[in-house]
Amino acid sequence: MAKKQSKRRRSSPSISSDSQTPPPDIALWTGAGIRPTEQILAQLGRFLSSNQFESIEEANAAIQQFTTQGTSSSGPPATTLQQAQELIWRAAEAPPQQRRQLAKQALAICSDCVDAYTMQAELTSSLATARELYAAGVAAGERVLGSTAFVDDTGHFWGLIETRPYMRARAGLAQVLWRQGEQGAAIGHLQDMLRLNPGDNQGLRYDLARWLLNTGDDTALTTLFEQYPDESAADWLYTRALWLFRTKVSDTAPRALDEALAANPFVPTYLLGKKKLPRTVPTIMTLGHADEAIVYVLSASGDWSTTPGALAWLKERTALQTKIQ
């Protein structure tokens, strides 16, 4: 049976003179599948809101009509924000330079187009500029959504198309803050985003777990691991195993590492230097495969190398599992 695909990332752009740390490497807007899905859902919503239906059957027939006729049946954008967002969806498929120009045009149409800020932030190699753009996007999102959304929609925040630009911008801001050394602020953003959307469609929990491990916040990390007990991604399982090895408060670390090795046996190959990491980050990551291992090791190799005895423990445990098999 084919394993399901997980989150998508892209390689980092070059580093500018205002920082020696890479800009965010998460594909907030250019990732495959984001634009087509959200654009169609938004246009469907516009189509339904512009029509009145007397029954469920009539509404279903209208949806079938929309599916058959395509997005042209949704009608033109009704607001400047919708006009700007349509431009951003078009820009997502354009080359970088054209994408940048279209994002600026979108903001000229509507200064509250959150994804336009996010798109520009992804295209800059300056951390300082990216931070300003992501922060502007977050502020715009708060204006668009209004304060009641952060109360009424808590718990299923990502389930609304309207909230997703805000969540993308805030995730980008958290990444920049972490890279600039503002660890507490970065962690706070991800924790609050998981409060808004505990289903975590964005995969924020993986970065949060590694950040809490990095800062030594065992209490918060324990709570986070308990919140997602059935997680099977390599990022999660190897982080948990390393954390248990560091704390040395129980004998569960070996079992946790064995579970991680079973989930993705490719991680030790890259962590122990048996195979070199590629120069570019895989654009698609599949659970249990080498591309998942590469993405994890690119993010977490420092955690392992700075933990005394961790790599030796990994090597020993990997050899033991190989003998058993």
- What residues are paired with 128 via a beta bridge? none
Q: What is the structure's pLDDT at 95? A: 93
Output the pLDDT for position 4. Answer: 40
Of 277, 31, 5, which Cα lies nearest the Cα of 172?
A: 31
Q: Which of 87-96, 257-266, 305-314 has the lowest mean pLDDT?
A: 87-96
Contact 203, 193 (CB under 8 A): no
Average pLDDT over every residue of 274-303: 93
- Measured between alpha carbons, how far is 256 from 82 in angstroms, rounded to an integer? 48
Query: By three-state DSSP, how is residue 156 classified?
Result: coil
pLDDT above 50 for 2: no
User: pLDDT for 85-101, tens place per residue?
Assistant: 999 999 988 999 999 99
Q: What is the average pLDDT value for the chain, to the nearest integer?
A: 86
pLDDT tens string 8-56: 333 332 223 233 333 334 444 444 445 567 877 777 777 677 677 778 8
Answer whether residue 322 shows pLDDT above 60.
Answer: yes
Name the pLDDT band for 70 (thresholds 50, 70, 90): low
Tens of pLDDT, residues 101-117 = 999 999 999 999 999 99
How much is the pLDDT for 18?
35
Q: What is the pLDDT of residues 205-233, one digit of tens each?
A: 999 999 999 999 999 999 999 999 999 99
Long-range contact list for 312-317, CB < 8 A, 24+ apart? 313/245, 313/257, 314/257, 314/268, 314/271, 314/272, 315/268, 315/272, 317/254, 317/257, 317/258, 317/261
CA count, 13 A, side-chain hemisphere, 103: 24
With cut-offs at 50, 70 and 90, classify the pLDDT of residue 69: low
Question: What local confidence, expressed as pLDDT, does residue 74 receive?
Answer: 59
Which percentage of the chain shows pLDDT scores above 70?
A: 83
Mean pLDDT of all residues in 151-170: 96
Q: Structure pTM?
A: 0.83
Tell me, what's the pLDDT at 254? 95
pLDDT tens, residue by residue, 291-300 = 999 999 999 9
pLDDT at 72: 54
